[in-house]
Chains A and B, each alone.
Chain A
Amino acid sequence: DSGVTQTPKHLITATGQRVTLRCSPRSGDLSVYWYQQSLDQGLQFLIQYYNGEERAKGNILERFSAQQFPDLHSELNLSSLELGDSALYFCASSVEGEGGQNEQFFGPGTRLTVL
C-alpha cells in the first residue's frame, strides 16, 4: 500500500459525458501527479500540482483539467469523453516538486471505460 488513494476504482460512462477522478496523496506529500496509461500509449504524464499550484504540464488534452485543493487532495476532470479516453488513470505523490529527483508513490488507479 503506497498510501495514495484514488476513487473510484472503476468508472463506466458514455461518450460525451464528464467525469471526475479523485486522488488523496500520502500524508505530508505536497506534489500530486496525474498519468494516463492505455494499451497503445504506455504511461503518459498529464499534469502535476505542487502545494496547490500547477507545476508541470505534459500531454494533457484541453478537455481535461485538474486542480489541487487546500487539503492537498486533487481531482482530474475529464469532459466530452471519447472512446479513446478509456484507460487507467494513475495519481502519484511525492514530498517535493521535482518528479525526476523525488520518489513518486503511485495510487491503485482508476479504470475508465467509455462506451
Chain B
Amino acid sequence: IAGITQAPTSQILAAGRRMTLRCTQDMRHNAMYWYRQDLGLGLRLIHYSNTAGTTGKGEVPDGYSVSRANTDDFPLTLASAVPSQTSVYFCASMSGTGNTGELFFGEGSRLTVL
C-alpha cells in the first residue's frame, strides 16, 4: 500500500541520548516535512525538504537535524534528547512544493524523553 512509513511508532528515551526517527515514502513526492504535535498546540513544522538534496528550517528546528539523500527517505535526528522534545512526531509529504496540495501523513512516532 502506497504511503508514508515512520519508525519507531513509539520510543522511550533517556535524556542526552541520540535518536533518529525514520520516514520513508513510496509516492515519489518532492516535498517532505517533519512536524511535532503537542496537546493544545497546532502542528509545528520542525524541518522540511522541497526536493532531494535540499532541506530547510521550520518554526521549531533547534535540537533537530534532517537529511534528504534521496526522494524516498527523510530521517529526523535528535542529537541529544531533552524532556521538552517529548511529543508525537509526524512525517508528511506533498507532491508539489507550493503547499497548496494535499499533505499525506505517516502514522506518527510517539517519543518520550525522560
Q: Are A and B genuine complex partners?
A: no
List the interface of chain B (C-beta within 8 A of A).
none
List the interface of chain A (C-beta within 8 A of B).
none
